[in-house]
Chain A
Amino acid sequence: MPAELEDAMRKAVHLEYWNLFWSSTIIIAMGLVLGQSQTMKTAWIEDTLGLVPPVMFLLAARVEGKARPSKRFPFGFHRVNGLGFFVAAVALAAVGAILLYDAVSALVAAEHPSVASIFVFGHEIWLGWLMIAAQLYSLVPPMIIGRKELPLAKALNDKLLHTDALMNKANWLTGAAGLFGVVGLGVGWWWADSLAAAVISLDIINDGIKALRSATAELVDGAPRALSGPDLSEDAQALCDRIRTEFPGSTVRLRETGRLIHVEVHDHHPPEESRHPRSYWPGDSDRSWRIAQVSFIPPTDDDHCATKQGK
């Protein structure tokens, strides 16, 4: 972990603990009033799934911060964050697909969800009112936490944290769609519930697929991807151009391990003077921690090898 990120990482860890706390209160509140509503079920599962990114982030931050390279893991644990990102992405995409299937099945079968009444403090109340209250409550924490996460995700170049910020955005959008579904049920639109659930599911799948594309790219040593999607990262592209200019004729390959970039310069000898990898960073020096390593692979002299082997 680069030293200049420690402060931002501490804040992010602190924020994620708050995220877990507030998300848990939402899950409990929603779980108590689920009923037969497909919208409520979908929103509740999405809220529960929303725990995956912060949990993975906290696990990854712990491993990344504490674990040292060992004989079994000589390159350290920079990629733990990427692994967490992959797990979160798979969970998002898979559950989104299941929920979409449920919602479309309910729509096709024209299922009419029943929302009964319950007794609260001696008063009979339609469960739908409590569902609406739970949905309204579920809008607030993710809206605030998601906004606080975005600048930290950018500062740390943390895709897992960024996915969590997206997840929080999806969660409050889900709350808004869920309100439509429950109110729709109340006014007698039986289809509103399943329709809202289907829209929410599509949003979950969209987030999941975007995250999965980025996570997979990192796992197969793809070029560094942007924080917010599967497009190539702009700062990594600028770095590639800068190194190509400095070492003409070379082939430059970049890959990402977690938040760090590794550079291989093929078919070129290293510069004679010893240089810190960060000296190659083209933009704002505050972000130069992104470069972990620059390796040079000189041109292979095939004739020389052949001669040596012949002897």
Chain B
Amino acid sequence: MLPRDPAGTTDRVSRDRSFKVGFADPDAVSDPRTKALIQNLEARTDATATIVDSTGEALLKHLADGNVDLAIGRFRSDSPWQTDVAFGPALTTHGRSADALELKAAMRNGENRWIMKVERASRAVAEPGAND
């Protein structure tokens, strides 16, 4: 079944029943959509989220290197990280137009099966109209 992950993230999560999550900014932790996304993903993967102690650019670097499976935070729609990591759909949007900040998950580039799984979970818990 396509797609598969080059680094096997989905298989590892399924095998270890665990995935690593970090928060790119402190505000993301308290947002109810963040909690909903993690719970939805835990239910879909039958795995438990392990929170890692890393934030900001260091977290995104860990994500790009494959040390973290998911980074959740508020990012601009034109974030400079968009070529280094894969962003999922917005869970909710704060602000308007170009300055808007989107609360969303970021995944390691190329892990397409894992990305699809997180996208599905994100759409399920997203605020209506967050991606319009």
Hey, which chain B residues are within 8 Å of A183, CB to CB? 2
Q: Is the CB of B119 within 8 A of A186?
A: no
Nearest residue (CB) in A for B3 is: A186
Total count of chain B residues near the partner, CB < 8 A: 19
Does any Cβ of A come within 8 Å of B52's Cβ? no
Q: How far is the CA of A185 from the CA of B6 in the complex (A)?
A: 8
Beyond the given A128-B2, A190-B110, please list 6 additional residue pairs across the A-B interface where CB-CB is below 8 A. A112-B7, A112-B110, A114-B109, A114-B115, A116-B119, A128-B112
Q: Tell me the A160-189 residues at the B interface (CB within 8 Å).
A: 183, 185-189
Hey, which chain A residues are within 8 Å of B7, CB to CB? 112
Identify the B interface with A (CB < 8 A).
2-8, 86, 107-112, 115-116, 119-120, 123
Given contacts A126-B2, A186-B2, A186-B3, contact A117 B116 (CB under 8 A): yes
Given contacts A114-B86, A117-B119, A124-B120, contact A189 B112 (CB under 8 A): no
1/0 per position for A100-127, CB-CB distance to B under 8 A? 0000000000011111110100001010
Given contacts A112-B6, A187-B4, contact A126 B116 (CB under 8 A): yes
Hey, which chain B residues are within 8 Å of A185, CB to CB? 3, 112
A–B pairs, 18, beta carbons within 8 Å: A36-B86, A111-B110, A112-B108, A114-B110, A115-B3, A116-B86, A116-B116, A116-B119, A117-B120, A124-B119, A124-B120, A128-B3, A128-B112, A186-B4, A188-B3, A188-B4, A188-B8, A190-B110
Nearest residue (CB) in B for A132 is: B2
Hey, which chain A residues are within 8 Å of B120, CB to CB? 117, 124
Hey, which chain B residues are within 8 Å of A117, CB to CB? 115-116, 119-120
> Shortest beta-carbon distance, A190 to chain B, in Å?
4
Name the one of B2, B6, B115 contacting A116, with C-beta atoms under 8 angstroms.
B115
